[in-house]
Amino acid sequence: MIEPYKKRGPSGGHMQRRNFIVLLGCAAAGWPLAAIAQNQSFTIGPPANPAAKLRAQEKAAADKRAKQKEKKEECRKRAVTEKITPRERKAFLASCEKK
């Protein structure tokens, strides 16, 4: 910690200079850390694998498509069991799939 010294003279000036040098050293050591912390693309943890990320996105999209297909099939079966007329079936399927 830098403290103001009351004693002026050779030893007092020397201590202030030493504290100033320590302060500069700490600032020089901390500067890169502060620059990295301010970088917005800095991520905590291991770097992301682009191939794994792409596979995960593809899997999520495939799961979503499968779920939509399953929902559509369920609505078609429901339209048959509830005996919806072919004329009304299109509107029924559209409203059923939205739910």
Predicted local confidence at residue 70, as pLDDT: 92
pLDDT in tens, 28-78: 888 887 777 776 565 666 667 788 888 889 999 999 999 999 998 998 888
Looking at residue 41, its amino acid is S
pLDDT band at 80 (very low <50, low <70, confident <90, very high): confident
Q: Where is 45: in which H helix or E strand?
A: none
pTM above 0.85, yes or no: no
Phi first, then psi: what are they for 7, rounded to 5°?
-80, 125
44-62 CB burial, b ≥16 within 10 A, e <16: eeeeeeeeeeeeeeeeeee
Average confidence (pLDDT) over 1-7? 56
Structural tokens at position 9? 């003279």
